[in-house]
């Protein structure tokens, strides 16, 4: 799972990370793979965030979750209180988005398990 901020440098970092993963696959762990990408710190009011999300979804359509985690003060504040956003402010937009992402991941896992059973 790769969380990626909807920012330009994060997109550059994703490219570098994928190159590192390819090297690890080739030399150390052939079974390593990227299963999921989660778009975070998304601010739909900015063109940059929309463009980054679009580019990630175009290049990794099967790996990118539908859910995006919005830019949220509550998500940023929670660690300073030694908490996750789910315990700090469970009704916040960030907490709800992480819960939805977890549901989506669980759904993907169930679908993958069914495909294995059918094979």
- Same domain membership, residue 61 and residue 14: yes
- Same domain membership, residue 91 and residue 63: no
- Same domain membership, residue 65 and residue 76: no
- Same domain membership, residue 76 and residue 65: no
pLDDT at 92 over 90: yes
- Same domain membership, residue 118 and residue 82: yes
Give yes or no for a contact between 108 and 36, defined as CB atoms under 8 angstroms apart.
yes
CA torsion, ordered 51, 97, 84, 63, to nearest 10 deg: -60
- Same domain membership, residue 88 and residue 62: no
Q: Mean of the pLDDT values across residues 105-114?
A: 77
- Same domain membership, residue 101 and residue 76: yes
Q: How many CA atoms within 13 Å lie on the side-chain side of 78?
A: 16
- Same domain membership, residue 2 and residue 57: yes
More confident of the two residues 65 and 119: 65
How confident is the model at residue 28, as a pLDDT? 97
- Same domain membership, residue 16 and residue 62: yes
pLDDT at 113 over 70: no
- Same domain membership, residue 80 and residue 47: no
What residues make up the domain containing 86? 72-119
pLDDT tens readout for residues 28-74: 999 999 999 999 999 999 999 999 999 999 999 999 999 999 999 99
pLDDT at 112 over 80: no
- Same domain membership, residue 107 and residue 97: yes
Residue 109 pLDDT class (50, 70, 90 cuts):
confident
CA distance 42 to 98: 13
How confident is the model at residue 119, as a pLDDT? 58
DSSP E strand boundaries for the chain: 2-5, 37-42, 64-70
Number of domains in the chain: 2
The lowest-confidence range among 1-10, 73-82, 107-116 is 107-116
- Same domain membership, residue 115 and residue 65: no
């Amino acid at each position: 799972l790769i969380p990626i901020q909807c920012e330009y440098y994060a997109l550059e970092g994703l490219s570098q990370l994928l190159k590192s993963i390819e090297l690890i696959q080739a030399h150390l762990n052939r079974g390593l793979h990227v299963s999921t990408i989660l778009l975070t710190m998304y601010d739909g009011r900015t063109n940059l965030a929309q463009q980054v999300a679009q580019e990630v979804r175009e290049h990794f359509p099967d790996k990118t979750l539908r859910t995006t985690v919005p830019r949220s003060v509550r998500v940023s504040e929670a660690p300073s209180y030694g908490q996750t956003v789910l315990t700090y402010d469970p009704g916040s937009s960030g907490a709800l988005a992480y819960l939805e992402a977890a549901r989506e991941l669980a759904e993907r896992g169930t679908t993958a398990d069914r495909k294995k059973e059918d094979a």
